[in-house]
Each structure stands twice: as structure tokens, then as C-alpha cells.
Amino acid sequence: MREKRAGSLRMFYEKPGEKWLDALPLGNGRIGAMVYGRANDEIIQLNETTFWSGEASKGNVVEESPELVKEIRKYLFNNDYEKARELCHKITGRKLNYGTNLPVGDMKLDFGSRTGNYTNFYRELDLSAGIVKVTYNHDDNEYKEEVFVSNPHQVAVVKVISKLPGKLGFRISFQGMNSTMAVHADSRGDLVISGNAFENIHSDGKTGVAIHGRIRVLTDNGHICQEAHALNVEGADSAVVLVALRTNFECSEPFQDCLDKIEKAAMLSYEELKEEHIKEHSSLMNRMLLSLGHGCHDDVPTDQRIERVRNGEADPGLDALLFNYGRYLIIGSSRENSPLPNHLQGIWNDGLACQMEWTCDMHLDINTQMNYWPTEAANLSECNMPLFKWISERLVPSGAHTAKVHYGCRGWTAHTVSNAWGYSAPGWGESWGIWPMGGVWIATHLWEHYLYTGDKEFLEKAAYPVLKGAAEFVLDYLVQDLEKGYLLSGPSFSPENSFLINGQSYSNTMGPTFDTVLSREIFNICIEAAKILDCDADFSDRLKDACGKLPDFAVGKEGQLQEWLQDFEASDPHHRHISHLLALYPFSQITVDKTPELSAAARRSIDLRVSPEGSYEESNWGYALLEAYFARLKDGNEAYKYIQGAIRGLTYDNLFICHPVFEGYEVGIYELDGNTGMSAAVLEMLLQSHEGIIELLPALPNAWDAGYVKGICARGGFVIDMEWENHSLKKFP
């Protein structure tokens, strides 16, 4: 008898998955799988994080840009925004063969010979174990399926079992997602996959990585019949399917690597593979646990729980499940040995997002940051490692070239978008691409890692060189406003909003608040780091001097924190980006206790964005922003309101939080940041440590009157367990 109880670490359903947003995600940090959980025709969609079209290039920058930047600044200082815009078109980056991450394809298990009805259907995702399970009855027989993706052995594993001996039969095949993908059965009896990451709007169709894969079936009794492009299992008691995928992004012999992985995995029993997987996965997942009370809905299928919340019911257990799910998705997509950090969809790719203009890349104007916001506080510190590796090995070298050639500056820079190859040039659109602070923002994650771990060796050898290079660029890029003496960045913009001058909309300006916050943050970080490491005293003095010349925060005529240096009227007063409030979160330049007036102005900025009701774009990461901002403002009920809004309007049956449905599409487009952003906000509601003290339950909403958290982390290296009841701490060891 299986336990139909969801709790905070299990999702379950009593019907099969019909579409991608019903499927349940598995991942080992490199291989992603979406398991539909179907009785007659199982589909397991496969992805690989390095399966990228495009290529690295040094031709994305504009050699004439340094002189053009000087001219643009003259026009901006003279308030000639039209002339500045004309020249800004000339310094946008060259898209060239930018590329995107592409889906690999669908592995299909066809049980089509069965007839009649299925009964007692059940599928679940066990977050603690990282395993999808499917069971059902048919013709007096019970069938079971288990799927996981092993990090220790770097293979996906599927086991299908028939309770009655000799009654298992199915056809296994693979359908690639583009026309380059081919599959054939080889002399070893395996299905061999080959192809290239070609054919995409972000690629010229001629460049991209090559991929190889191998599918092997092992049976208990029965036999396997080989077709040209498929395998047939007949008369078996059970079968184990092993899948290996590898590209030539970092592997010189992907074909041989896949063969080696399959051979080694095949030498172990299924139970050995499963045991090693659970031990390794759960060592991360079970470090932290959140419960928000045992709700009356724990024995209700997950899709029905979501529907009940849509109908106005409270379900704190579902809130906790969503938080734990965010941690689970980080573990599945970004591991210490992952070759790349998360792109917009993590490592799960529906084939839709990579066709959108924004593509499956690393957006540096908030999305990549939000993907990793929860990691430190959620006790997943090592899950940052692929991000740090990508920054230091790909983004920094590319960014140094961009800084030198495109701006004539030292250090390194990156802009709004980047990719597997470390693209660092401006974006190819004037209204959104000319923003050279993306590298600064993403670099601050290395400092956060030091604050949580106290790892001085990491600070000295890994973090400080990256941070210093980012600060060097900012020092060179800032220019003095001769009228007021401020040091201002520019040309730049406030993502992704624009402002009105004489009825005309403009994006580029000097000294947007967003840039000033980032300049101050990177300078202060480097000053503190140099003090800790006892180095670079002269450089620190220069940074201190520059900090003193940055503009102060300003409050506009409507009581809001100004988004720009001038009190411009926004072209879209309800824009989903409220990025100038990053001074409130994730940074702490504005806090409720130390800067109450600025906190009030920040809240007024939010109020203007979201009022009247329905004016703010209901996007996944946009809601996560509001949740985090209200947590820092210590208003738990407002943060909770937007968590509930995301569940009601943007959360699908598999708990993916998506964009709203775009015109021409039937479903929303998934991005990982909606889930990770929500988890980050919940962490801030439960514990804050950004002001040099640890504050427990600073933004607890009325709905979470009782609960406990184990393994939550605070800056300074603290790991904390706590329990509360009636909104008051009950236990604190």
C-alpha cells in the first residue's frame, strides 16, 4: 500500500502527465529529464546543459566605441537624448552567432500492445530521494516505474517492473529535437544518438556543439529484439534503461565517454545505482527542511492542492513544498561538478523558450542572479561552484577584452546577456543592451559566498581577483559630472524601463540609480576584502575617494525612490523591473532600521508600480522580486500575498512557476527564477543577517503561525534550527 501523502517533500498525482508542464523534473546538474509518467506511452524528455548552438567570438565588440562613448556622454550631459540615441545604435554589440541551449530529445517507452483501462494510477516525485515513481494496475497486473538521474555515475536510470513474471514488454526509441539528430542500434545492442546544436534563430545553423548519447536496456528474463532505430523488450520480468549524454563542449571524446559511463553503470545492480544516487542527492536535499504546519491537504494530489488555493483556500503545506521544491531544482540543475551554471530554464528546456527573443541564456540584469539567490542561506553553498567557474574562466577573460576594446577601460565588464561562451559585449538592442554593470552584479555572488562561509582562501584566490577587476572597470568607466561633481556611469540604463522627455521615450542616460548602487556595492566590497587580506591599500583609498563622489539616493516628487538621477517620468510606470530597489534587496544599502526614510521611499516605488491592482505585469520573477522586497521591508503579509498570487496565477501542476501566456502560445514559458526567487524570499521572511546581526522570523505572515526550519544559514557561518508556535519562537537550540 503506497502512502498518498504529499507533505513538504513529496508531490503526487493520480493521473498521467499529458504535457511538458505536467512532467516531473529530474537532474544531476548536467543531464536534465522531464518525466511525463504515462502508462501506455511514457515520454522522458532529455536535456544536456552544454548542448549549445553558437560559438565564442571576439568580434561582438565595436572597435570605434571608445570615441563614440565620449560623444554620447556629451549629448547626455547636454540633455540631447535624441542625438545620444542615434549614436547609441552604433555601440550596440554584434549578435553574430550568439546561440542558445537546445533540447536534446524525447526517449519513448511504448507499451502500446496493452488494451483496456488502467486503475489505481499514481505518480510522484520524492524530493528527498530525487526519484520519480509511477505505479498502476492493468489486467490484474501491477506495473512500477522508477526514474532518477545519477550524479555519481552521470547517467539517467529507468526501471520498469511487472509484478507478474514475463509480462513486461515495450518498444524504446528516441526522437531528437532537431533535424541533425540521428539514432541507430549498434553492434552492442545499444541505441546510439548523435547530432549537433544547429537550427535555431540565435544561431547561423553552422556552428554549435556536437552531442553523443547511448541508451542500453538490461532485462531480467525475456529478450531484446533490435530494430534499425529502436529496441523491443519482450517477455521480461523487469528492465533497466541506462542513458548517457555528452557533448564536446568540455569533453574531447564524447562518444567514448558515453560508452564508458554506460559500461561502468551496467556493471552495478539497479539497487546499487539507486542507493548511491539517494545517498548523494539526499546529502544536499536533507541539510535543510522547512515545515509550515501540517495542513489538511497533505493527502490531496498536488494538482488539486493548487486548484484549491486558486479557489481561495490556504495551504501552508503547499507553501513549504514550493520552498523545498526551489531547493530541489537548484540541486538538480547546478552541482559542484556541473560544467555550466543555470541558464534561464535551469537545465530543463521545453523547446519554446530557446525560440523566444530572450532565449535560454544567462541574463545578467536579474535572472541569473535570482537563480542563485537562495543557495547560501538554503545550505547549498557548493551549488554556486559552476557559476563561479563560468565567471572566472569564461566571463572575465571575455569581459577584459570587451572592457579594453569597447570602452578603453581596465578590468572586465559584462552586459545584459551572456551565454555558454561568456559573451560580454553590449546587447544588440539600444534600448536594453547598453548596460555594462552585469559583470559587477554577478561578481557580488562571490563575496556573498565568503560572507556565509568565511573561506579566506576562496576570497584571496578566487573571489578577490574577480571583484577587483570589476571595480577597476567601474573606476575607469565612471565620468565626472562637471556641474555637480558626481561620478556617473553612462551611457547606461535602468533595466528595462525608459523615461519620457517631451513625450518621447528614451532609455540611455547618465547615472541611473541601478548603476550607482552597483558601483557603491563593488567599491565597498573591495575595500572590505582588501582590509581582510591586508593588500591593495592604495587601491582601497582610490575606491573610498570614488565612493564619496557617487550621488546619494534621491526621493522623487511622488515620494518614490528615484529610478534615475533626474526625477524623470517613467514611460511604463508599472514596469516589472523595479531593479533600482536592489539597494533594498539583495544588498542592504537601504534598510528599515538604518534608513527608514529611504525604506519608505522604496515602498512607495513598489506601491506606484503595483497600483492600481492588475497594472503590474504578473511575471514569475517579477512576483519573486515583490516577495523579496516586502520580506526586507519586514512586511510578511504583503510578501505572502504575492506568493499566493504566484501560486494562483502562474504555477502549473508540476509546480513550475512560469511567465503568463504570451500571444500565440497555449501555455506560459518556464523560467527557473520564479521558483528560486520564491525560495529566496521565504528565506528572508524567516531569517535575515544582512545588518551584522541575525534576526529570526523578521517577516512571518499571519498564515504561517506555526512551523519549524532546520539547517537555515546566516552570514558569519551560522547554521540554525528553530521552531515557532503562535508566531513566537518556541525552541532555539
- 403-455: pLDDT as tens digits: 999 999 999 999 999 999 999 999 999 999 999 999 999 999 999 999 999 99
Q: Does 613 or 390 have the greater pLDDT score?
A: 390
**733 has a pLDDT exceeding 80:** no
Mean pLDDT of 143-167: 98
Lowest mean pLDDT among 62-76, 381-395, 659-673: 659-673
Give the percent of the chain with pLDDT over 90. 90
Peptide bond into 551 cis (omega under 30): no
279 exposure class (CB count in 10 Å sphere: 0-12, 13-18, 19+): exposed
What's the pLDDT score for residue 201?
Answer: 81
Which position has the higher pLDDT, 355 or 273?
273
pTM of this structure: 0.97
Band of pLDDT at residue 4, cut at 50, 70 and 90: very low
Torsion of CA 618, 620, 622, 625, to 10 degrees: 140
| 144, 161, 254, 270, 272 from 267: Cα distances, Å | 23, 20, 20, 10, 10
Closest Cα to residue 230, out of 271, 186, 295?
186
CA distances from 280 to 153, 283, 710 (A): 11, 5, 19
| Separation CA 387–CA 379 (nearest Å) | 16
Is a pLDDT exceeding 70 seen at residue 732? no
Average pLDDT of 387-397? 98
Query: pLDDT class for 152, splitting at 50, 70, 90?
Result: very high
How does strand 141-150 pair with strand 31-35? Answer: unpaired
Q: What is the mean pLDDT of the chain?
A: 95
Among 325, 64, 102, 59, which residue's Cα sits nearest to residue 203?
102
**3 vs 381, which has greater pLDDT?**
381
CA distance 19 to 21: 6
The pLDDT of residue 206 is above 60: yes
Distance set, CA 633 to CA 599, 622, 661, 684 (Å): 7, 17, 31, 10
Contact indicator for 264, 679 with CB cutoff of 8 Å:
no
Residue in this structure with the C-alpha cell 496493452, named with its chain if needed: 114
Q: What percent of the chain is predicted at pLDDT more than 70?
A: 98
pLDDT band for 1, please (50, 70, 90 cuts): very low
Q: How far apart, in whole angstroms, are the C-alpha atoms of residue 676 and residue 419?
A: 20
Q: Are 423 and 371 in contact (CB under 8 A)?
A: no
Question: Distance (Å, rounded) from C-alpha 616 to C-alpha 574?
Answer: 5
Which amino acid does the sequence have at 463? A
Radius of gyration of the chain measured on its C-alpha atoms? 26
Nearest to 32 by CA among 19, 50, 14: 50
Closest by CA position to 415, among listed 431, 401, 432: 432
**Residue carrying the nine cell digits 526550519:** 709
The CA-to-CA distance between both ends of the chain, in Å, stands at 38
pLDDT at 223 over 60: yes
Beta bridge partners of 213: 193, 245
* Separation of CA 513 from chain center: 25
Model pLDDT, residue 5: 46
> How do residues 173-184 score in pLDDT, each as one tens digit?
999 998 899 999
> Which residues are CB-neighbours of 606 under 8 A, at least 6 positions away?
578, 581, 626, 629, 630
pLDDT tens, position by position, 259-270: 999 999 999 999
Under a CB-based contact definition with an 8 Å cutoff, are residues 44 and 148 in contact? Answer: no
Q: What is the mean pLDDT of residues 575-604?
A: 96
User: 3-state DSSP call for residue 705?
Assistant: coil
Each residue's pLDDT tens digit, 474-520: 999 999 998 999 999 999 999 989 999 999 999 999 999 999 999 99
pLDDT at 518: 98
The amino acid that residue 272 corresponds to is E
Is 36 a residue whose pLDDT tops 90? Answer: yes
Q: Calculate mean pLDDT across residues 514-536.
A: 98
Give 353-399 as a 3 state SS string. HHHCCCCCCEECCCHHHHHHCCCCCCCCHHHHHHHHHHHHHHHHHHH
Span 536-564, mean pLDDT? 98
Q: Which domains does the chain have, with CATH numbers?
A: 10-49+101-286 (2.70.98.50)
Contact call for residues 41 and 152 (beta carbons, < 8 A)? no
Choice among 101-110, 149-158, 197-206, 621-630 with the minimum mean pLDDT: 197-206
Could you report the per-residue pLDDT of 628-639, keeping only the tens digit for each?
999 999 999 999
Confidence band, pLDDT 50/70/90 cuts, at residue 203: confident
